[in-house]
């Protein structure tokens, strides 16, 4: 560019837009007089028009000069490309622009940025299935994949319209050259039905930041759409399969489940097409989609036949068998041209069968035929437009629109099926309402009896829950571990009854002194649990009190003040220190001492249980506890055991039993007592808790 031209361009930049752009156009027209190739003017002024005016975001696919072959000198801005032909970069292999394509070639164009263009933000966005190198003013800017020079080295890579910043010079001619190779043209190999994307390059000049945001939103929307369609169809597939499993006579649900599953997988593979960049995995995805198409249309025909045919015709095996054969051929031959023709004929046959079945169903006025027909007609219309446009290469319909029609066309079948099922559900609901009215006409006596049985059952459940809660409370109040002492051997046993009685025991150690408590709450169930909780709290408070009678009185006054009605607590407290035992009792059975000499001593302090009176003269007894002696404490559940015939165990039987335990350890005594319990009950359930505490002096 000469100095005068440069000065005029600078002047145009100072004038602004549109005056600067108009002046720049005038300069360019003067400079380019007599030249056949007019550079493109890149501007942000949308009011300017003309064949050589481009705006950020415009498609550049029709603006390129094309040359087959390969020569790195073609990247130079000074190279004379006047002999190159005008063509499209987004060519199809069977189009005029694609004829003569040998697998590698170059594209060139010239751009002059206007003064209002922000150059740092400008970029070039590409979409292709080959490999490419981008040159700006002779300098390599970016490379996608590895170009096939020679052919075996080619490694395709799809940029997916991710823009590359291009270093343009404002107000000057900028030559953009793209070196491109595509030997394994996907459109040629797999596009017999779906030439959605060209064999060449889709090119667009963009403002990088804005385009990235827009592209990300579009990509997210498209990917979300695929995944939503997959999720919906997969859910429908599982739902209808479960319906068939539980009602095997419903064959339409089975074929519809297979149809929806195949279609769901088709959409899932479609989502992979959005993110894959290398041609090789894309090839397998496309082959897998074509494989699924066999079964999609096969199950489509079977589904329609199963709805309206009283007996499945023998030709249903033709559809299924043909689908298996063509699907196998697709996988074995990677979808060669002969197999493409077979798939096309098979799909056409399935579509014709579907139309025939729907027409016959509507003519026969079969139930729900119009609903299914509407979905099938919508499906056939949209899919027919898609395949027709693909077959005869109608390029004026955008690929994304064709793809959207293809996807949403399939959804017309699930939609009509959902309406059909909703209608059947509505009719079923009406029949159920009729049956319900018949049930309401049953005799009032039967209904009253049913209500009474329900009420009794609920009462029993509430009582069982109350008893279980009381049992848990009772057990939670018991000590987790027994005291460890070098002076005593201790064993404890508690067996709760079917109806909780409220037994309680506990220990408190302070130095050489051991305090033992055993008790039995009156009443049963939750009330007994409440009393056990109270007793546990009171014992924790007064266990260290040296005066056990005073401790009992304090507990009794506290329980009395709680106004629990006829709820009391029988209790005995023992303080053992050295060879002495002091004990007091409030309504508990006698305590037995098995002396080492062989005698059995019975001690009993008769008194009212805790909570009966504010002041009661509880007694206290002290006795010797020598080495070899065994102290036997129990609640009244053991002596009051009753057989099925009503015979009571009694204290006499207790005395006779204990006399033979003199030389036994506490654990052995417990085992013997458990055996006596089981022998006496003989399978009968006990009606009260049984608790034993056995303490032997070492």
- β-partners of residue 517 are 506, 573
Q: Report which of residues 14 and 687 the model is more confident about.
A: 687
- Among the residue ranges 184-188, 546-550, 607-611, the one predicted with the least confidence is 184-188
Give me the pLDDT at residue 78, please.
92
pLDDT interval class at 363 (50, 70, 90): confident
76-87 confidence digits (pLDDT tens): 999 999 899 888
Q: Enter the tokens of residue 448.
A: 């009253």
Lowest-pLDDT choice from 103-107, 475-479, 567-571, 686-690: 475-479
What's the pLDDT at 189? 45
How far is Cα 687 from Cα 267, in angstroms, rounded to an integer?
68
**Would you place residue 582 in the very low, low, confident or very high pLDDT band (cuts 50, 70, 90)?**
very high
Burial of 428 per CB tally in 10 Å (0-12, 13-18, 19+): exposed
State residue 84's pLDDT score.
92
The reported pLDDT for the residue numbered 79 is 94
**pLDDT tens, residue by residue, 284-306:** 888 888 899 888 888 888 888 88
Answer yes or no: is pLDDT of 639 > 50. Answer: yes
Residues 439-466: what's their mean pLDDT?
A: 78
Report the mean per-residue pLDDT for the chain.
Answer: 82
Residues near 504 by Cβ (< 8 Å), separated by ≥ 6?
Answer: 474, 477, 478, 517, 518, 519, 520, 521, 532, 535, 536, 571, 691
Query: Are the beta carbons of 310 and 252 closer than 8 angstroms?
Result: no
Query: Residue 150, preceding bond cis, omega within 30 degrees?
Result: yes
Please tell me the total number of residues recorded for the chain in this structure: 698
pLDDT at 399: 55
The residues with which 582 forms a beta bridge, in sequence order, are 575, 622
Domain 221-435 has what CATH class?
mainly alpha
For residues 178 and 53, the model is more confident at 178
Peptide bond into 524 cis (omega under 30): no
| pLDDT given for residue 34 in this prediction | 33
- Region 347-354 average pLDDT: 84
Tokens 């894309």 found at? 282
Answer whether CATH 2.60.120.260 is correct for domain 36-213: yes
pLDDT band at 391 (very low <50, low <70, confident <90, very high): low
141-181 pLDDT per residue, tens: 999 999 976 677 888 888 988 899 999 998 899 999 999 99
In this prediction, residues 590-598 reach a mean pLDDT of 91
At 211 the pLDDT is: 85
Is 385's pLDDT higher than 60? yes
pLDDT at 407 over 90: no
CA separation for the pair 373, 413 (Å, rounded): 9
What is the model's pLDDT at position 425? 66
- Find the mean pLDDT for residues 457-466: 79
Q: Residue 579 and residue 595: Cα distance in Å, rounded?
A: 13
Q: Cα–Cα distance between 307 and 206 in angstroms, integer?
A: 53
In a 13 Å sphere around the CA of 354, the CA atoms on its Cβ side amount to 25
Residue 226 has pLDDT above 60, yes or no: yes
Question: For residues 474 and 504, is the Cβ–Cβ distance under 8 A?
Answer: yes
More confident residue, 581 or 367: 581
Judged against a pLDDT cut of 60, whether residue 122 lies above it is answered with yes
**For a pLDDT cut of 70, what percent of the chain falls above it?**
85
Judge whether residue 581 has pLDDT over 90: yes
pLDDT digits (tens, 9 = 90+) for 298-336: 888 888 888 777 677 777 788 888 899 998 888 888 777
pLDDT at 196: 47
Higher pLDDT, 251 or 4: 251
Comparing 571 with 510, which gets the higher pLDDT?
571
Q: Is the pLDDT of residue 597 over 80?
A: yes
Give residue 136's pLDDT band: very low, low, confident or very high (50, 70, 90): very high
Q: Enumerate the β-bridge partners of residue 172.
A: none
Residue 191: the pLDDT is 41
pLDDT digits (tens, 9 = 90+) for 642-672: 988 888 999 999 999 998 898 899 999 999 9
Residue spans per domain, the chain = 1-28, 36-213, 221-435, 485-697
**Band of the pLDDT at 24, cuts 50, 70, 90?**
very low
- At residue 45, the pLDDT reads 82
How much is the pLDDT for 500?
Answer: 61
Distance in angstroms (rounded) separating the CA atoms of residues 178 and 134: 5
Instruction: Report the share of the chain in percent with pLDDT over 90.
Output: 32
What is the predicted pLDDT for the residue at 94? 62
Report the predicted TM-score, pTM, of the whole model to 2 decimal places. 0.49
Predicted local distance difference test score (pLDDT) of residue 405: 67
- Residue written as token pair 């919906």: 232
The answer to whether residues 577 and 512 touch, using CB atoms and an 8 Å cutoff, is: yes
CATH fold of 485-697: Phosphatase 2c; domain 1 (3.60.40)
Same fold for the pair 221-435 and 485-697? no
Tell me how far apart the alpha carbons of residues 407 and 229 are, in angstroms, rounded to a whole number: 9
Q: What is the pLDDT of residue 641?
A: 92
527 touches 567 (CB < 8 A): yes
CB 468 within 8 A of CB 678: no
pLDDT given at position 23: 36
Q: In the predicted model, is pLDDT for residue 18 greater than 80?
A: no
Chain-centre distance for alpha carbon 416 = 28
pLDDT on residue 31: 39
pLDDT at 7 over 50: no
Q: What is the pLDDT of residue 140?
A: 96
| Alpha-carbon gap, residue 556 to 614, rounded angstroms | 6
- For range 422-432, the mean pLDDT: 73
């Amino acid at each position: 560019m000469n100095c005068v031209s440069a000065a005029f361009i600078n002047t145009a930049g100072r004038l602004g837009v549109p005056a600067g752009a108009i002046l720049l156009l005038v300069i360019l027209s003067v400079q380019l007089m007599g030249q056949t190739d007019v550079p493109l003017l890149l501007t942000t002024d949308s009011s300017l028009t003309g064949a050589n005016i481009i705006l950020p975001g415009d498609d550049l696919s029709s603006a390129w000069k094309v040359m087959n072959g390969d020569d790195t000198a073609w990247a130079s801005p000074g190279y004379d490309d006047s002999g190159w032909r005008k063509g499209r970069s987004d060519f199809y292999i069977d189009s005029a622009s694609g004829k003569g394509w040998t697998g590698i070639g170059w594209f060139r164009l010239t751009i002059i940025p206007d003064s209002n263009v922000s150059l740092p933000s400008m970029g070039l966005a590409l979409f292709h299935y080959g490999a490419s190198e981008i040159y700006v003013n002779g300098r390599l800017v970016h490379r996608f994949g590895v170009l096939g020079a020679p052919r075996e080295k080619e490694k395709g890579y799809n940029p997916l319209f991710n823009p590359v910043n291009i270093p343009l010079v404002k107000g000057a001619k900028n030559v953009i050259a793209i070196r491109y190779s595509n030997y394994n043209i996907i459109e040629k190999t797999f596009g017999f039905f779906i030439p959605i994307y060209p064999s060449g390059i889709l090119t667009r000049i963009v403002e990088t930041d804005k385009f990235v945001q827009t592209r990300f939103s579009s990509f997210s929307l498209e990917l979300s759409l695929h995944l939503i369609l997959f999720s919906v169809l997969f859910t429908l597939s599982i739902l209808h399969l479960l319906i068939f499993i539980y009602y095997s006579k419903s064959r339409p649900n089975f074929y519809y489940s297979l149809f929806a599953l195949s279609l769901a997988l088709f959409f899932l593979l479609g989502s992979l097409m959005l993110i894959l960049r290398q041609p090789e995995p894309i090839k397998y995805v496309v082959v897998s989609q074509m494989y699924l198409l066999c079964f999609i249309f096969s199950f489509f025909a079977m589904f329609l036949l199963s709805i309206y045919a009283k007996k499945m015709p023998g030709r249903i095996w033709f559809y299924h068998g043909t689908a298996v054969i063509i699907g196998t051929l697709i996988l074995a031959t990677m979808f060669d041209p002969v197999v493409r023709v077979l798939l096309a004929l098979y799909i056409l046959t399935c579509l014709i069968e579907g139309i025939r079945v729907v027409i016959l169903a509507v003519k026969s006025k079969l139930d729900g035929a119009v609903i299914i027909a509407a979905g099938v007609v919508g499906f056939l219309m949209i899919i027919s437009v898609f395949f027709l446009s693909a077959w005869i290469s109608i390029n004026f319909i955008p690929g994304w629109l064709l793809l959207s029609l293809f996807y949403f066309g399939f959804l017309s079948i699930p939609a009509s099926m959902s309406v059909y099922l909703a209608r059947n559900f509505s009719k079923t609901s009406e029949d159920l309402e009729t049956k319900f009215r018949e049930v309401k006409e049953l005799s009032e006596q039967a209904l009253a009896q049913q209500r009474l049985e329900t009420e009794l059952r609920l009462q029993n459940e509430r009582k069982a829950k109350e008893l279980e809660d009381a049992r848990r409370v009772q057990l939670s109040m018991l000590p987790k571990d027994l005291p460890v002492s070098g002076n005593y051997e201790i064993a404890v046993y508690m067996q709760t009854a079917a109806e909780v009685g409220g037994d309680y025991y506990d220990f408190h150690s302070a130095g050489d002194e051991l305090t033992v408590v055993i008790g039995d709450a009156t009443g049963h169930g939750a009330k007994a649990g409440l009393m056990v909780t109270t007793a546990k709290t009171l014992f924790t408070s007064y266990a260290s009190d040296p005066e056990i009678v005073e401790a009992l009185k304090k507990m009794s006054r506290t329980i009395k003040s709680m106004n629990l009605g006829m709820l009391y607590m029988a209790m005995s407290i023992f303080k053992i220190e050295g060879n002495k035992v002091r004990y007091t009792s409030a309504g508990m059975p006698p305590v037995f001492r098995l002396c080492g000499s062989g005698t059995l001593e019975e001690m009993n302090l008769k008194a009212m249980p805790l909570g009966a009176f504010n002041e009661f003269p509880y007694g206290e007894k002290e006795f010797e506890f020598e080495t070899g002696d065994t102290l036997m404490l129990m609640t009244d559940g053991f002596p009051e055991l009753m057989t099925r015939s009503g015979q009571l165990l009694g204290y006499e039987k207790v005395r006779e039993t204990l006399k033979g335990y003199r030389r036994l350890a506490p654990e052995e005594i417990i085992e013997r007592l458990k055996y006596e319990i089981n022998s006496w009950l003989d399978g009968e359930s006990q009606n009260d808790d049984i608790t034993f505490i056995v303490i032997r002096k070492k």
